[in-house]
Amino acid sequence: MSADTEGDPAAGRRTVVVTGASAGLGYHAAEQLAAQGHRVVLATRNAERGAAAERSIRRHVDHADLVQLHLDLADLDSVRAAASELAGLGPVHALLNNAGVVGSAERQDTVQGFELQVGTNHLGHFAWTALAMPLLDQETGRVVHVGSIAHRFTRLDRSEPLAVGRYEGHRQYARSKLAVMLFGFELAQRLGDAGSGVRSVVAHPGLALDAAAPPRPDVAPTRSEPAWMRVGSGWVAQGKDAGAWPLVHAAVGDGVRSGEYWGPAGPLQLAGPAAPVRARTRAHDRTVAAQLWTASERATGVAFALDALD
How many other C-beta atoms can be found within 10 angstroms of the C-beta atom of residue 267? 10
> Residue 23 in contact with residue 222, Cβ under 8 Å?
yes
Q: How far is CA 143 from CA 124, 140, 162, 182, in A?
A: 14, 10, 22, 14
> Residue 17 in contact with residue 96, Cβ under 8 Å?
yes
Query: Which one, of 178, 238, 244, lies nearest residue 25 by Cα?
Result: 244
Give the three-state DSSP class for 228: helix
Q: Which residues of 186-218 are buried (b: 16+ CB within 10 A; e: fewer)?
A: bbbbbbbeeebbbbbbbbbbbbbbbbbbeebeb
Cβ burial, residue 225 (10 Å; 0-12/13-18/19+) = middle
167 carries an active-site annotation: no
DSSP states of 279-299: PPGGGG-HHHHHHHHHHHHHH
Q: How far apart are CA 280 and CA 285, in angstroms?
A: 10
Mark out the alpha helices in 36-132 (DSSP H runs): 47-60, 76-86, 116-117, 125-132
Q: How far apart are CA 261 and CA 181, in angstroms?
A: 9
Who contacts 304 (Cβ-Cβ below 8 Å, separation ≥6)? 130, 133, 190, 297
Kindly report the length of the chain.
310
Q: How far apart are CA 275 and CA 297, in angstroms?
A: 32
Residues annotated catalytic, as ranges: 173
